[in-house]
Chain A
Amino acid sequence: GQNIDQPTEMTATEGAIVQINCTYQTSGFNGLFWYQQHAGEAPTFLSYNVLDGLEEKGRFSSFLSRSKGYSYLLLKELQMKDSASYLCAVGGTGFQKLVFGTGTRLLVSP
């Protein structure tokens, strides 16, 4: 089966840096996605990692370590609009199935 763990909730201050962790256990591994979801809205794609290392995209970066079953999403220069849920989603092999973690609700305060 697949098991994905993320912290339920995090708080941070505008302008700060926050790291949202995701640990996973899957039968095989076929890539890891991060999605952002504002309350009442659809998830939107942030990043995709399939190889170890850091992928940087503007204020957002995502890191993957396949040997440790671990990823993080790093958000820099936080803005109020970054208040949202951040979903880690992992694909295992053989089932063509992408499983979402429970998501981390991030609250950015002034």
Chain B
Amino acid sequence: DTEVTQTPKHLVMGMTNKKSLKCEQHMGHRAMYWYKQKAKKPPELMFVYSYEKLSINESVPSRFSPECPNSSLLNLHLHALQPEDSALYLCASSQGVEVVMEKLFFGSGTQLSVL
């Protein structure tokens, strides 16, 4: 299994809603990532978990809250988002030997729209 699975594929939420994005991998990878990608722009790193510990937080606003319940799962909790947060949210994983500088396996993403 070389897949990273993300749910939901699409999400529409209001600015007062609370929602969560989920990501799962069963490749035994020990590093997991959240990226944000706006249309026609490159992915931007948000968070990195290495061995279930948050190792990188790219100064992301607190309305985004990551969680890594175990080595296979990664969540992104969303609360009080703004319309400018609308984007494709990509989860990725890698072996974890050389965090970030390794081949990344991406999920197909959650397309988020904030109204």
Q: Which residues of B contact A (CB under 8 A)?
A: 4, 40-45, 48, 55-56, 58, 90, 99-101, 103-109
A97 engages B100 (CB within 8 Å)? yes
Q: Which of B90, B101, B108 contacts A91 (CB 8 A)?
A: B101
CB 8 Å contact bits of A11-31 with B (1 = contact, 0 = none): 000000000000000000011
In A23-77, the 8 Å CB interface with B consists of 30-31, 33, 35, 41-45, 48
Q: Which residue of B lies closest to A42 (CB)?
A: B106
In A70-110, the 8 Å CB interface with B consists of 87, 89, 91, 96-98, 100-103
Bound together, the chains give a CA A95 to CA B42 distance in angstroms of 19
B101 engages A102 (CB within 8 Å)? no
Q: Which of B41, B56, B106, B109 contacts A102 (CB 8 A)?
A: B41
27 contacts between A and B (CB under 8 A): A35-B104, A41-B108, A41-B109, A42-B4, A42-B90, A42-B107, A42-B108, A42-B109, A43-B43, A43-B90, A43-B104, A43-B106, A44-B106, A45-B105, A89-B42, A91-B100, A91-B101, A96-B99, A96-B100, A97-B45, A97-B56, A97-B58, A97-B100, A98-B101, A100-B42, A100-B43, A103-B40
Inside 8 A of B44's CB, which chain A residues have their CB?
100
Bound together, the chains give a CA A30 to CA B41 distance in angstroms of 23
Q: Which of A48, A87, A96 is the most central at the interface, judged by chain B CB atoms within 10 Å of its CB?
A: A96
A103 engages B100 (CB within 8 Å)? no
The minimal Cβ–Cβ distance linking A98 to chain B, given in whole angstroms, is 5
Bound together, the chains give a CA A89 to CA B44 distance in angstroms of 11
Inside 8 A of B40's CB, which chain A residues have their CB?
103
Bound together, the chains give a CA A49 to CA B58 distance in angstroms of 25
The minimal Cβ–Cβ distance linking B52 to chain A, given in whole angstroms, is 17
